[in-house]
Amino acid sequence: MPPAESDENSAHCELGYGQGLSINIHAAATQGKYFDTDFNPSHAAHANELCTASKCGAKFFDDSFEEMLHRDDLPQFDSISLHGIWSWISEENQAHIVEFARKFLKPGGVFYNSYNCYPGWSPGAPLRELFILHDKYAHKSSKTFNRVEEALKFTEELLNKNPAYFQRVPDVKNVFNTARKLSHDYLAHEYFNRDWICMYFSEVAEILQAAKLDFACTTEIVETLDNYNFSQDNLAFINGIENSIMREQIKDYFRNRQFRKDIYIRGARRLPEFERVERILSTNYVLMTKDKFPQSVAVPAGNVTLTENVAEKIYNYLAAEDYAPKNFKAFLEKNPDISKATMFQAIVLLMRNGNIMPCQSEVTIQHVKPYCVNLNKYICKRAYDSDDLQFLANPVTGGGFPLTKMERVFLAAEYEGITGVDELANYAWKIFSARGLSLVKAGKSLNGAEENLAEFKNMAQSFTENRLPILKALQII
């Protein structure tokens, strides 16, 4: 397993970072050096703009994957990540990525890859083929939006004729109805991209062997507990399969999975159970909202009820001392009636539900905090005119933290030292009125300063009571 936390000597790489918000958040909120690429120069320019704001020193190139492979100024990486890339590039580019991992990932390094997979995509694949066929041979418009719409209409007409294929595979209609509701932008990327290669988990695992990569786990924390994912009967069948690749593949049949987020390790070493539990218990955790814990959490195998007494004790423990991060070793010493197994299940369920998150060490938090604040100030200011950057850098967890546009505007004021409900409301109204904007409540645009300020005060009240304490606990401010 990789070290639990990235230190200043570690190096990380993201291939195909898109607009670059998430990689900038990670580069600001964790220790280590970042070297990333996306061949779209406007993506690289945007990623560099965010990096100039955070001053964290990450490098964002506009190299293609092939060019990145031949660079001679890269270190050996502790992690290489790609999200939303693998299924939408050519085989040739997949080969460049595998070679990149073989050449640049350290032994023990982590490789993250997400991709569309079979068998879940089985009804979707012929549908995509229809869209692509129409777009290649029968489209009339040159505009992407219209081309997507034309292909959708054509497919709808075909479905209405009820051809034998759709009678034999009735789920195609459901997939089409779901796709119909998605935005044309999303559809253009998911269904109309020139390259599209959908694979089984086992195929990807075999390809990645060329880079000496072993499958470790998925990023879904709940999948660490098999009984939350499969019935006992199914689990007995799965556990009867000796080969680990085959076992993981069969899980996809039980789940009918169509998208995977996998973690591979170059030379995986399984931790002994005792060490694994010790690491989990001695990690600090923090509350992500002030909301009390739910009574039950949805998992793939159904709903799991949290032991009420345990959930309340954990909540009170983490809420104490102004929500400061704490580990569960100390908690278990104070609550000897709670077993380690119960504690582990509670941690998994609460993380799955977004109630708690693991934290970085205090040394790391203090090191990364200034970069996070620099980036967050920029993101909050940008909320005056746009709603495009919806996450902030969280120094305590090392990841992102979502805030609404109004919350970001209030936080911009707090960064300037402006605080208190009336002051926050006045600040927000000044920004809105200067742009000729008004708030909309229940579908109705509010009129003038009085109506707007009253509503801004409600929002500022809620922000101050519910969000600000958590933002302070997360050291975002």
Contact set with ligand SAM (CB under 6 A)? 16-18, 37-40, 43, 64-65, 83-85, 88-89, 93, 189
Q: Which residue, 18 or 108, is less far from ligand SAM as judged by CB?
A: 18
Beta bridge partners of 79: 12, 110
CA–CA separation, 372 and 327 (whole Å): 23
CA–CA separation, 443 and 454 (whole Å): 16
CA–CA separation, 464 and 28 (whole Å): 26
In this structure, what token pair is assigned to residue 63?
């190299």
Closest of 383, 384, 382 to residue 436, by C-alpha: 384
What residue type is assigned to position 121 of the chain? Answer: W
Q: Which helix (H) or strand (E) segment is 399 a member of?
A: strand 399-402
DSSP 180-215: HTS-HHHHHHHHH-S----EEHHHHHHHHGGGTEEE
What residue type is assigned to position 249 of the chain? Answer: Q
What minimum distance in Å lies between the beta carbon of 207 and ligand SAM? 17
What minimum distance in Å lies between the beta carbon of 251 and ligand SAM? 24
Q: Which residue, 192 or 410, is less far from ligand SAM as judged by CB?
A: 192
Place of tokens 């497919």: 155
Q: Residue 222 in contact with residue 300, Cβ under 8 Å?
A: yes
Q: Residue 293 in contact with residue 315, Cβ under 8 Å?
A: yes
What residue type is assigned to position 261 of the chain? Answer: K
Q: Which residue, 52 or 193, is less far from ligand SAM as judged by CB?
A: 193
CA–CA separation, 5 and 277 (whole Å): 16
What minimum distance in Å lies between the beta carbon of 150 and ligand SAM? 23
What minimum distance in Å lies between the beta carbon of 49 and ligand SAM? 15
* Residues shown for the chain: 477
Print burial letters for 112-121: b (CB count within 10 Å at least 16), e (below 16).
Answer: ebbbbbbebb
CA–CA separation, 53 and 30 (whole Å): 16
What minimum distance in Å lies between the beta carbon of 135 and ligand SAM? 18
Please provide residue 216's backbone torsions phi and psi, each rounded to the nearest 5 degrees: -105, -55
Cα three-residue angle 263-265-271, rounded to 5 degrees: 100
In this structure, what token pair is assigned to residue 19?
């607009």
Local structure of 125: helix, strand or coil? helix
Q: Residue 105 in contact with residue 77, Cβ under 8 Å?
A: yes
Nearby residues of 195 by Cβ (< 8 Å), 6 or more positions away: 88, 89, 90, 93
CA–CA separation, 100 and 88 (whole Å): 18
Q: Which helix (H) or strand (E) segment is 379 a member of?
A: helix 362-382
What minimum distance in Å lies between the beta carbon of 259 and ligand SAM? 12
